[in-house]
């Protein structure tokens, strides 16, 4: 959800420049089931603009109406929406609506946390009583400091706190610069991931060829810098060049990404891995076991766009510890428990 929060911050900064007030709505609790879960947010601007959503579209207009008193009084309020009677869901949503005016220092810490790939927390103090209250509101806790995002005064008698960890943005590193890499880049960016492209020096490409990419590097395979790879990073090797793919694997052998995929059929994979073992006989077995090759889920993908969907779907299933099945066959909740972005 960090990409959603990042978008809200971006829109807040635009509104601030235009001297427009903002209000933040956060789902802080849920009794039963709902389309979206606690931790989802939407930003409301006093010109009636809404960014984001906290439901499937059932309560947003009413939240905008309820936010008017918050714009006027600057006092947070709680709203309760019982989906059993009006929303078509089976749960009760508890929504915290509060003024949103983080300080410049808070915004600096936020942008530094993104740059340094550091997690931070949002703690929301709330109650389940509908109406305004001066003891409810949210605090953003960074590694080296905490900031209120509105004016409120939580006390020791406050019964309820919703805390949410927001990890660094999920990152995808694509080794290759062919057309299918472009489509994967676009899809990953649409999903809110940071995308880094690594191209060979002879590929004659630039970041302008990759809509949505956040970084682009042209480098020889023996000059790679892999230190940015962490547990929130997926790697896909898809250069269409056997020699380059082999060199990429060799350079990546000591890395531990959240996901590692290799494009190409099984016969090509076997030849590639045989040569890889010859060059790296001491490689950790876990590296080999973590390799997904051929990359992607079996959904009948044929076009570059469909292949991108297949790859992104497998990355999500692996990083969220989900076994891909038809949802109609799933007996438990359809929502993943371990969300990385």
pLDDT digits (tens, 9 = 90+) for 217-270: 887 655 566 667 888 999 999 999 999 999 999 999 998 999 999 999 999 999
Q: Which of 4, 90, 65, 88 is nearest to 79 (CA)?
A: 65
The chain-wide mean pLDDT, for the chain, equals 89
Looking at the predicted structure, is the pLDDT value of residue 3 above 50? Answer: yes
What pLDDT, on a 0 to 100 scale, did the predictor assign at position 301? 94
Does pLDDT of 158 surpass 70?
no
pLDDT greater than 60 at residue 142: yes
pLDDT bin (cut points 50, 70, 90) of residue 339 is: very low
Q: What is the pLDDT of residue 163?
A: 95
Distance CA 194, CA 211 (A): 12
pLDDT in tens, 38-95: 999 999 999 999 999 888 777 889 999 999 999 999 999 999 988 766 555 567 889 9
Would the pLDDT of 113 be above 90? yes
Q: What is the mean pLDDT of residues 128-150?
A: 93
User: 61-87 b/e with 16+ CB inside 10 Å = b?
Assistant: eebbebbeebeeebbbbbbebebeeeb
Q: Where are the domains of the chain?
A: 6-166, 171-319
Q: Rounded to an integer, what distance in angstroms lies between the CA atom of residue 44 and that of residue 53?
A: 10
Q: Does residue 134 have a pLDDT over 50?
A: yes
Is the pLDDT at 341 greater than 70? The verdict is no
> According to the model, what pLDDT value does residue 334 have?
66
The pLDDT of 165-175, averaged and rounded, is: 94
More confidently predicted of 31 and 296:
296
**171-319: which CATH architecture?**
3-Layer(aba) Sandwich (3.40)
pLDDT in the model for residue 159? 67
- Identify the pLDDT of residue 17: 96
Assign 3-state DSSP to the chain and report helix, strand, coil percentages, each to 5.
35, 25, 40
């Amino acid at each position: 959800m960090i990409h959603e929060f990042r978008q809200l911050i971006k829109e807040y900064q635009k509104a601030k420049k235009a001297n427009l007030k903002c209000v933040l709505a956060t789902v802080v609790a849920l009794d039963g089931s709902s389309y979206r879960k606690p931790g989802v947010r939407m930003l409301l601007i006093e010109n009636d603009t809404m960014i984001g959503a906290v439901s499937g579209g059932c309560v947003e207009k009413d939240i905008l109406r309820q936010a008017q008193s918050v714009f006027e009084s600057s006092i947070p309020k709680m709203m309760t929406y019982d989906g059993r009677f009006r929303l078509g869901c089976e749960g009760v949503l508890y929504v915290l609506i509060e003024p949103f005016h983080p300080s410049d220092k808070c915004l600096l810490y936020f942008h530094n946390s993104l740059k340094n790939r550091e997690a931070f927390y949002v703690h929301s103090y709330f109650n389940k009583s509908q109406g305004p209250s001066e003891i409810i509101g949210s605090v953003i806790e960074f590694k080296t400091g905490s900031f209120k995002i509105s004016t409120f005064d939580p006390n020791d008698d406050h019964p309820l706190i919703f805390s949410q960890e927001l990890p660094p943005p999920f990152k995808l590193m694509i080794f290759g610069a062919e057309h299918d890499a472009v489509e994967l880049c676009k899809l990953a960016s649409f999903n809110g991931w940071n995308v880094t492209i690594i191209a060979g020096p002879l590929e004659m490409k630039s970041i302008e060829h990759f809509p949505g990419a956040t970084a682009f590097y042209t480098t020889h395979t023996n000059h790679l810098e892999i230190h940015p790879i962490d547990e929130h990073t997926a790697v896909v090797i898809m250069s269409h060049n056997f020699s380059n793919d082999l060199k990429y694997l060799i350079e990546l052998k000591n890395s531990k990404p959240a996901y590692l995929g290799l494009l190409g059929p099984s016969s090509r994979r076997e030849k590639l891995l045989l040569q890889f073992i010859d060059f790296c006989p001491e490689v950790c077995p876990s590296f080999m076991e973590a390799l997904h090759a051929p990359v992607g889920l079996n959904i009948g993908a044929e076009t570059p766009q469909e292949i991108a969907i297949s790859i992104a779907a497998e990355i999500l299933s692996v990083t969220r510890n989900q076994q891909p099945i038809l949802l109609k066959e799933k007996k438990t909740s359809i929502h993943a428990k371990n969300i990385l972005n």
